Amino acid sequence: MDYKSTLTGLYHLLILADNSVNEKELAFGKEMLKIEGIAEATFNAQMETLKTKDNKTLLSECIAGLKKLDKTKQIRCLAWLSVIANSDGFMDKEEWELIYKIYHTELSLPLNEIMKTQKDLNLLIHGKSFQSIGIRVNK
C-alpha cells in the first residue's frame, strides 16, 4: 500500500471504529482528500472495496503499509486520524484505542510530533491551529 491508499484504509477503519459514522467525519474526510491530493473517484472506489474487507485484515495491511512509509508520512497519517476523530469535538474511546495501538504499540511514534502535525492540519482546514486529544468515554 502506498501513502494515499494506506491513509484511505486508516480513514475507513477510524470512521467505523465506534460503529457510528457522523457527518463531520465525512466532511473532514473530504478536506483530507483535497489537502492530500487524493482523487475523489479513486477514494470512493477504494472505500467501496474496503467495505468487503475484514477490519482485522485491513488493519494488518494498513500497519504494513505504514511501516513502508517514512516517519514523516507515518506521523501525518496518525495526525489525520486524530483530526478526524476529534471532528465532532470528542475522540471516542474506540477511536483512541485504534490510534494508540498504531502510533504507540506498532510504530513507537512520538505523540508530540503527531500533535504538532495535527495542529498544522487544523491550520490548513480551519485557518487556525489547535489540537485536541480528549476522549469520550461515556455515550
Number of domain units in the chain:
1
Q: Using one digit for the tens of pLDDT, what is the confidence trace for 84-105?
A: 999 988 889 999 999 999 999 9
* The length of the chain, given as a count of residues: 139
Full domain range(s) for residue 125: 3-136
Quote the CA–CA distance of 93 and 85 in Å, as a whole number: 10
Q: pTM for this one? A: 0.90
Q: Using one digit for the tens of pLDDT, what is the confidence trace for 28-52?
A: 999 999 999 999 999 999 999 999 9
Query: How much is the mean pLDDT over the chain?
Result: 91
Amino acid 128: pLDDT:
60
Helix or strand (DSSP H, E) at 97: helix 93-100
Helix or strand (DSSP H, E) at 72: helix 71-85
Quote the CA–CA distance of 71 and 109 in Å, as a whole number: 8
Amino acid 130: pLDDT:
52
CA torsion sign for 115, 36, 105, 20 is: positive
Quote the CA–CA distance of 48 and 43 in Å, as a whole number: 9
Give the CATH number for residue 128. 1.10.3680
- Kindly list the distances between the CA atom of residue 30 and the CA atoms of 26, 37, 55, 57, 90, in Å, as whole numbers in the listed order: 6, 10, 22, 25, 19
